Structure 1
Amino acid sequence: FAREYGGLLDTRSFGGAQVSRTFYVGGQTGQQLLLGAYQQMSRQVGLGNIKLWNRIELVDIVVIDGRCAGIVTRDLLTGEFVSHAGHAVILCTGGYGNAFFLSTNAMACNVTAAWRAHRRGAYFANPCYTQIHPTCIPQSDEFQSKLTLMSESLRNDGRVWVPKEPDDTRAPGQIPDAERDYYLERLYPSFGNLAPRDIASRAAKRAVDSGRGVGAKRNGVYLDFADAIGRLGQQVVSERYGNLFEMYQRITGENPYQVPMRIYPASHYTMGGLWVDYELMTTIPSLYCAGEANFSDHGANRLGASALMQGLADGYFVLPYTLGNSLAPMLNTSIPGTDHPEFAAAEQAARERFAGYLSAGGTRSPDIFHRELGRIIWDYCGMERTAEGLQKALSEIPALYEEFRTDLRVTGGGDTINQTLEKAGRVDDFFELGMLMCRDALEREESCGGHFRAEYQTEEGEALRDDEHFAHVAAWEWTGDPMAATRHQEDLVYETVHFQTRSYK
């Protein structure tokens, strides 16, 4: 972690905070926390306490007599389906941000493990709560498959602006200060460029939608460090953000020390996920879910400076103390082995599902379907949602899903490495999730955090909550069709704090 001159841990501000209370590691705090977690896991592997299964993917959950009894996996190298039995199963499989196709997530991130658990009876909570990060490099062409996150720490010193007039094609250096709109500083003078992520993202969208976007595709806003360099010197700015500036220049070919960065919001984190209780158990006994894959910690808005909080809290401070409550009653009792008929049935169902992808015989790849699905979800269930748009999405997604089932083309076979086949299974689950995301957003007739319904906003364009009718978790139960899932409510009851509407003006 970064240190002050005297050797103490250094802190800095982050979006949504006016004080410096965030410990950080240059511009790569999340990455360093991940490396620490990886190291601890590798240590336990070396000690023989963990057996690591590389290059396999969970494809189903096995439930016997109402309890999670194990999982079915597929070997990504050989295509072999293998069952694993256990006293308990813990899913730590991350979020579903790639439902939007373009996101800051790794390409392999998917919802399959959580969704297969949902199909087996685990409730899926608040799927419409997704975080859009305001500082990502804008899409450069129609065939791009991933977006790059630029650390939010950049907003400590960078100033966000667009030209005041639409369709201004001048280079940024040719636009005088009087003709620039530093819109976050104008709209939110108390927080300025450190406005929370959801607010900063929507403000960028509105600036671009008004015709004032920048760059060749007019799909970004400027993040300008000229003032910081003039005030602090390039050396100080380089010490703070040098690795980020280098990454940006390698990707875009533009030197951010000389010209402003171009940024635009992108899907980053998902606050929804499998419903869990305070012990992190899902609605299926003995099936636990930790980290971003569950819904538990962030509510409708994941604030900045909470990098990996959910994973660290769940893994270090919750599960080690709650898992035993499920295991203790099973001491000295046998559990069903993988020779149980339910394991065989789950394996066979998985084989048939993947064989179906291979035999579809259509003309379009999983990526083509995923890109189109992501566009629908982004357009109608992204930064700003409306009832009309969500209803349109709930018409378009099932129609596209039917085309996926009949016109999918997966090349290659199932007994060797086949990333197209892997992708087909993941996109299949994204289709069903996308329907549930839109249904959840349509049912929640208010605006809060990462869920913004255009019909529910103040006169100043800010989120308008409805605490009387929607102060609850929406937990969805699988019924065989995501369009007919059953919605359950868990009321949010607070005894020591009270609902408040925070102003960032």
Structure 2
Amino acid sequence: DSVYRMFVDTLKGGDFRAREANVYRMAECSLNLIDQAVAQGVPFGREYGGYLNNRSFGGVQVSRTFYARGQTGQQLLLGAYQALMRQVGKKSVQLFSRHEMLDLVTIDGKARGIIVRNLDTGEIERHSAHAVVLATGGYGKIYYLSTLAMGCNGSAIWRAHKKGALMASPSWIQVHPTSLPQSGDYQSKLTLMSESLRNDGRIWVPLKENETRNPNDIPENERDYYLERRYPAFGNLAPRDISSRAAKERIDAGFGIGPLKNAVYLDFSKAIKEQGKEKIKEKYGNLFDMYLKITGYDAYKEPMMISPSAHFSMGGLWVDYELMTTIPGLFALGEANFADHGANRLGANSLLQASVDGYFIAPYTIANYLSNEIHTGKISTDDIEFEKAENHVKQQIESFININGTKTVDFFHKTLGKLLYDYCGLARNEQGLKFAIEEIRKLKQ
């Protein structure tokens, strides 16, 4: 493996639509990130001799991803949180938890602060700054069926867009192939099962439509390992968009499994037979335990049930090489910007981009910007622009409270999300897009 090979894999996986300079920089910084995370105490998996272990993720044919069992993202967060709280304890950083950004404040065309709401008290607050950083994630939750938290609705970057920040590639959304299937129409938040499971699990559906037999009773010659059949070079590690689209196609064709016929199987029987249960438990024990607690099924004894759901947005705010948007002083990091993934993200590159942007790029580019801005002195929150922004926010909240509609917020979320998922997500065509546009117009009315 090499920096150049990772660079090419990322470009190719994104259909050559990512910004090459940003991607190459991300690949160059990737090894530094591992050193940074280890220094912060992130417990990466290790081989018997103590060396860091790695494994393959979707869209690549080499093992380059360092991991912490099935909790890599969580462990990276804990490492970052510990470093942050150390600075909070030293009084060099002030933390405002449970606050939601409601508007961006610009003065003379430059980002100079934000209006936020305290979610505990409901109080509206003003915060001024010489630069504003949005590291608020993507907008995948608008697709209804997603692995994301309810807050991942893109509201922060949308408010920046309304202030003049340009968006780029908003139609590119990634659908993850290994989430747990929806239990009922009421459910929108789905549980993500780590993509690492695809290293040893084999994905299949029955050859017979509307199959009702227990999966262990279905013989091999009546199973369709459709990814291995269609994409022999990648097999079950085919890129996420390909794997998810293939799963949805099989489900829509009537070969789905589970109570709602909305899933496919992820089978570990061959891996357990070849490697032994203890080896699989060592690799994925926490994921198997989580699956058992949520579904009541033991993945050591029968295949998991998985389904595709929205997971990551490749589009976002347009940024330059220094991660600054079209509004001077407003920076967008990680999933909030568009730069590094093109039309499709490779497995594990989300954590990589967010970490590289935060640890190795923003500290230099923001400092470079501030070197010419800091002479302006402290920016007062009494400025007329702060007053205008706060009044605008209060008027919006007042109008929302006074709406006497007959439909709930959940109704609009579900209706819009299903339109986007079915017609503007995995597979798109002219007829479906035109239908979705008309339905969205009706919904808006």
Indicate the SS of the match to 1:329.
coil
2:230 to 187, 205, 212: 187
Indicate the SS of the match to 2:204.
strand
Shift of 1:16: 1.7
1:339 alignment partner in structure 2: 382
Indicate the SS of the match to 1:71.
strand
Are the counterparts in 1 of residues 144 and 188 from structure 2 also a CA contact under 8 Å?
Answer: yes
Does 2:182 correspond to 1:121? no
Unaligned runs of 5+ in 1: 403-505
Number of corresponding residues: 402
1:235 alignment partner in structure 2: 278
Are the counterparts in 2 of residues 29 and 307 from structure 1 also a CA contact under 8 Å?
Answer: no
1:312 alignment partner in structure 2: 355
Identity, % of aligned positions: 57
Paired AA for residue 29 in structure 1: T
1:15 to 33, 50, 58: 58
Q: Which 4+ stretches in 1 moved above 4 angstroms?
A: none
Paired AA for residue 429 in structure 2: T
Q: Deviation per CA, 1:12-45, whole angstroms, max 9, x where unpaired?
A: 1221222222211111111111221222211111
Unaligned runs of 5+ in 2: 1-43
Shifted more, 38-47 versus 236-245: the winner is 38-47
User: 1 CA distance for matches of 2:57 and 2:331?
Assistant: 32
1:491 alignment partner in structure 2: none
**What are the within-5 Å matches in structure 2 for residues 22-171 of structure 1?**
22-171=65-214
**What are the within-5 Å matches in structure 2 for residues 243-392 of structure 1?**
243-334=286-377, 336-392=379-435
Are the counterparts in 2 of residues 30 and 307 from structure 1 also a CA contact under 8 Å?
Answer: no
Q: Deviation per CA, 1:247-270, whole angstroms, max 9, x where unpaired?
A: 111111111111100011111111
Indicate the SS of the match to 1:314.
helix
User: 1 CA distance for matches of 2:397 and 2:159?
Assistant: 14
Shift of 1:75: 1.4
Q: Deviation per CA, 1:263-296, whole angstroms, max 9, x where unpaired?
A: 1111111111111101111000111111111111
Shift of 1:368: 1.8
Indicate the SS of the match to 1:114.
helix
Shift of 1:336: 4.1
Paired AA for residue 275 in structure 1: W
Indicate the SS of the match to 2:433.
helix
Paired AA for residue 401 in structure 1: K
User: 2 CA distance for matches of 1:340 and 1:346?
Assistant: 10
- Which structure is higher in helix share? 2
User: 1 CA distance for matches of 2:58 and 2:108?
Assistant: 47
Indicate the SS of the match to 2:371.
helix
Does 2:220 correspond to 1:200? no
User: 2 CA distance for matches of 1:244 and 1:86?
Assistant: 42
Indicate the SS of the match to 1:372.
helix
Q: Deviation per CA, 1:25-67, whole angstroms, max 9, x where unpaired?
A: 1111111112212222111111111111121110001111111
Cα 1:332/1:13, change in 2 over 3 Å: closer
Shift of 1:307: 4.2
Are the counterparts in 2 of residues 90 and 287 from structure 1 also a CA contact under 8 Å?
Answer: yes
Paired AA for residue 215 in structure 1: G
1:429 alignment partner in structure 2: none
Indicate the SS of the match to 1:308.
helix
1:174 to 217, 221, 224: 217
Are the counterparts in 1 of residues 130 and 374 from structure 2 also a CA contact under 8 Å?
Answer: no
User: 1 CA distance for matches of 2:280 and 2:371?
Assistant: 54
Highest RCO, 1 vs 2 (Cα 8 Å, sep ≥ 6):
2
User: 2 CA distance for matches of 1:324 and 1:17?
Assistant: 35
Indicate the SS of the match to 2:301.
coil
Are the counterparts in 1 of residues 335 and 350 from structure 2 also a CA contact under 8 Å?
Answer: no
Q: Deviation per CA, 1:403-453, whole angstroms, max 9, x where unpaired?
A: xxxxxxxxxxxxxxxxxxxxxxxxxxxxxxxxxxxxxxxxxxxxxxxxxxx
**What are the within-5 Å matches in structure 2 for residues 458-477 of structure 1?**
none
Shift of 1:125: 0.8
1:472 alignment partner in structure 2: none
User: 1 CA distance for matches of 2:341 and 2:86?
Assistant: 30
User: 2 CA distance for matches of 1:332 and 1:192?
Assistant: 57
Shift of 1:108: 2.3
Paired AA for residue 277 in structure 1: D
Cα 1:43/1:362, change in 2 over 3 Å: same
User: 1 CA distance for matches of 2:230 and 2:333?
Assistant: 37
Indicate the SS of the match to 2:145.
coil
Indicate the SS of the match to 1:77.
coil
